Amino acid sequence: MSTIARIELDDANLPPPTPEIEQERRVAMFDLMEDNSFSLPARNGRDVPAGPYALGLSIRDKRLVFDITTEGGDPAAEFHLSLAPFRQVVKDYFQICKSYFDAVKSAAPSQIETIDMARRGIHNEGARILQERLEGKAEVDIDTARRLFTLICVLHFGG
């Protein structure tokens, strides 16, 4: 598999994120750049430029847009995904994150651990949905899908 060498989020038209959302974004971006697995499969019998890739991630016309170029800036692929399959899991993820952030301030460690386990479960569900939606377009491992799902949540937060 290849990798993502650079990622840009088009969040220019979104409201400013909360400090918690901004922290989630920073962590996901850092982790993604440290370790990821991303490749483009051959489609319709045509060759695909080799990675590493630069990934532009945005929401346009209520669709999630992946704009992929080579490191040199040559177009490699662009695809648009419906946000509909993500809506409920993103909503659930934000609700559980809010509970988690509130719990960290005053709850017992056992309560925090329980909420964190639920948060990870919802996060894994979002990553699984992303892998399904990317099938035939891009191949990502589960850790990369989890980090990309976090960035989708960041974009969805204002979208």
pTM: 0.89
Provide the pLDDT confidence category of residue 8 given band limits of 50, 70 and 90: very high
pLDDT, mean of residues 11-22: 78
Q: Is the dihedral of CA 13, 15, 21, 27 positive or negative?
A: positive
Helix (H, G, I), strand (E, B) or coil at 89: helix
Provide mean pLDDT across the span 13-40: 87
Model confidence at 159: pLDDT above 50 = no
pLDDT recorded at residue 115 = 92
The domains of the chain are located at 4-156
What is the pLDDT, as a whole number, of residue 61? 87
> How far, rounded to the nearest angstrom, does the alpha carbon of residue 103 sit from its chain's CA centroid?
24
Average pLDDT on 134-158 reads 90
Single-letter residue type at 103 = A
1 versus 141: which is more confidently predicted? 141
User: What is the per-residue pLDDT across 91-140, written as a single tens digit (0 to 9) for each?
Assistant: 999 899 889 888 989 989 999 999 989 999 999 999 999 999 999 999 99
Contacts 24+ apart (CB under 8 A), 28-31: 28/147, 28/148, 28/150, 28/151, 28/154, 29/151, 31/143, 31/147
* Residue-wise pLDDT tens digits, 34-69: 999 999 998 777 788 888 999 999 988 889 999 999
